[in-house]
Amino acid sequence: MSRERGGGAEDAEVKIGYQGRHVVVTGATGELGGAIVAALLEADAEVRVPCRNADKPGGLEALRSARLEIVGGIDLEDESAVRRFYRSLPGLWASIHAAGGFAMSPIAGTAMVDFRKMIDSNATSCFLCCREAVEAIRRTGSDGGRIVNVAAMPALEPRRGAGMVAYAASKSAVAALTAALAEEVAQEGIWVNAVAPSILDTRANRAAMPQADVSRWAKLDEVAATICFLASPQNLAARGGVVPVYGRS
């Protein structure tokens, strides 16, 4: 991953690198999470992945590396499990939170249990991981750190959440949490940001919408690159943002 700066004969490539820094990625057994892990490994990060079942790593199986550790038995909606995981880390530079769920239904067809499921899988898991990540970064030392959450387009454009109000509300909570926490920990050098994807170009979305123009969808590697920059040591100033990653949609 790289970006270029203009400057005539002095043009230079700036490589995004982590140089062995420890990074947590939640939701890494999903397609976006897997793309994030792949980008981090390419950038020399030490990656820790909490999940329910380490024996079912999904796409991570193809990314096996000495710098990738998959930790099973972690329910990200369980306060004690999340605390136990983060307190077991040898150090922490960044925590990226791609875990969550999606459900689409009109409000009349959304039971309270469905609403709570969206809140817990998206907002509660994000809150718990953010809280424990802040404490883990503080324990690591005085260099600060990075947190990146994954919201969604309806968090920025709530009218796009029609027909999926529970999901839209839960992702809006993620966006608000991001902005508030970013201000709270800024003086410690902990930058907190989020991305807000539109429809992602995943196998599941292609199967669900076979007639769609997928060229307009946000590509996984491009979204992962944005996340990895925000979580990197090269991000020297960006904080408190909820960044649209819409592709051409």
Please give the pLDDT value at position 61: 85
CA 168 – CA 158 distance, rounded (Å): 7
CATH of the domain at 198: 3.40.50.720
Q: Is residue 4 part of a domain?
A: no
Please give the pLDDT value at position 119: 98
Please give the pLDDT value at position 13: 54
Q: Please give the average pLDDT of every successive group of 10 residues along the chain, which has 249 residues.
A: 44 73 96 96 97 88 91 97 97 97 95 98 98 97 92 96 97 98 97 96 91 92 97 97 92
Question: Could you tell me the pTM of the whole model?
Answer: 0.92
Q: Is residue 14 part of a domain?
A: no
Please give the pLDDT value at position 242: 98
Q: Is residue 169 part of a domain?
A: yes
Q: Is residue 188 part of a domain?
A: yes
Q: Is residue 3 part of a domain?
A: no
Please give the pLDDT value at position 10: 43
Q: Is residue 9 part of a domain?
A: no
Q: Is residue 6 part of a domain?
A: no
- Looking at the structure of the chain, the number of domains it has is 1
Q: Is residue 110 part of a domain?
A: yes
| Structure-block tokens of residue 114 | 């469905």
Please give the pLDDT value at position 59: 82
Structural domain of residue 118, as residue ranges? 19-245
